[in-house]
Amino acid sequence: MAFVQSGVAPILGVKGIDDRPLVGSGVACRVREMSVVRLFLDCARNAPLLAAVEAGSAVAATFSSARDHRSIQIKAASARLDSPESEDLSEIARQCAILRHELVTLSYTPGQARDYTAYDPGGLAVVEFRPERVFTQTPGPGAGAELRR
């Protein structure tokens, strides 16, 4: 759970209402009670994806480190939509600052890093779910292996 809150890039995949895959870039995520993932996405850019979640689509959230592409994927059979809470906003800002710094160390210009991590706090939706399965997605021979306790 620490990894997904460490300033990594989140991506959410769902099955659209027309049964076609949809993917959206997230802003950050927050884990609550060590069992609930709250993934934050821009409402306007992800309207079809959010509609699919509301319609009951399963979700697959992938979190990747910009520095070394270390990645994990968390899957759940369903999710629910919510609005950001005050505790979420400070966590989103913290994670975006970490990612922004990481991108600059990887030779992005400060402006590129700022634009990549930009978000409107008033335009965010939350996709909340309880992880059911977790997989390593880091490129290489172990990609796709399920992580177990």
C-beta separation of 14 from 58 below 8 A: yes
Residue 126 and residue 42: Cα distance in Å, rounded? 9
Tell me whether residue 12 is in a domain: yes
Tell me whether residue 77 is in a domain: yes
Residue 93 and residue 109: Cα distance in Å, rounded? 19
Can you give the pLDDT at residue 58?
97
Burial class (CB in 10 A: 0-12, 13-18, 19+), 63: buried
Helices (runs of H) and strands (runs of E) counted in the chain: 3, 9
Can you give the pLDDT at residue 84?
95
Give the confidence band of 118 by pLDDT, cuts at 50, 70, 90: very high
Tell me whether residue 130 is in a domain: yes
Q: What is the pLDDT of residues 27-56, one digit of tens each?
A: 999 999 889 999 999 999 999 999 999 999
Tell me whether residue 33 is in a domain: yes
Overall average pLDDT of the 56-83 stretch: 96
Q: By residue range, what is the domain housing residue 70?
A: 3-92+119-147
Tell me whether residue 125 is in a domain: yes
Q: What is the pLDDT of residues 76-109, one digit of tens each?
A: 999 999 999 999 999 999 999 999 999 999 999 9
Query: Domain of 32: which CATH number?
Result: 2.30.110.10
Please count the structural domains in the chain. Answer: 1
**Token pair recorded at residue 117:** 């991590």
Residue 42 and residue 137: Cα distance in Å, rounded? 24
Tell me whether residue 98 is in a domain: no
pTM to 2 decimal places: 0.92
Tell me whether residue 84 is in a domain: yes
Tell me whether residue 104 is in a domain: no
The fraction of the chain above a pLDDT of 70, given in percent, is 99
Can you give the pLDDT at residue 139?
85
Give the confidence band of 146 by pLDDT, cuts at 50, 70, 90: confident
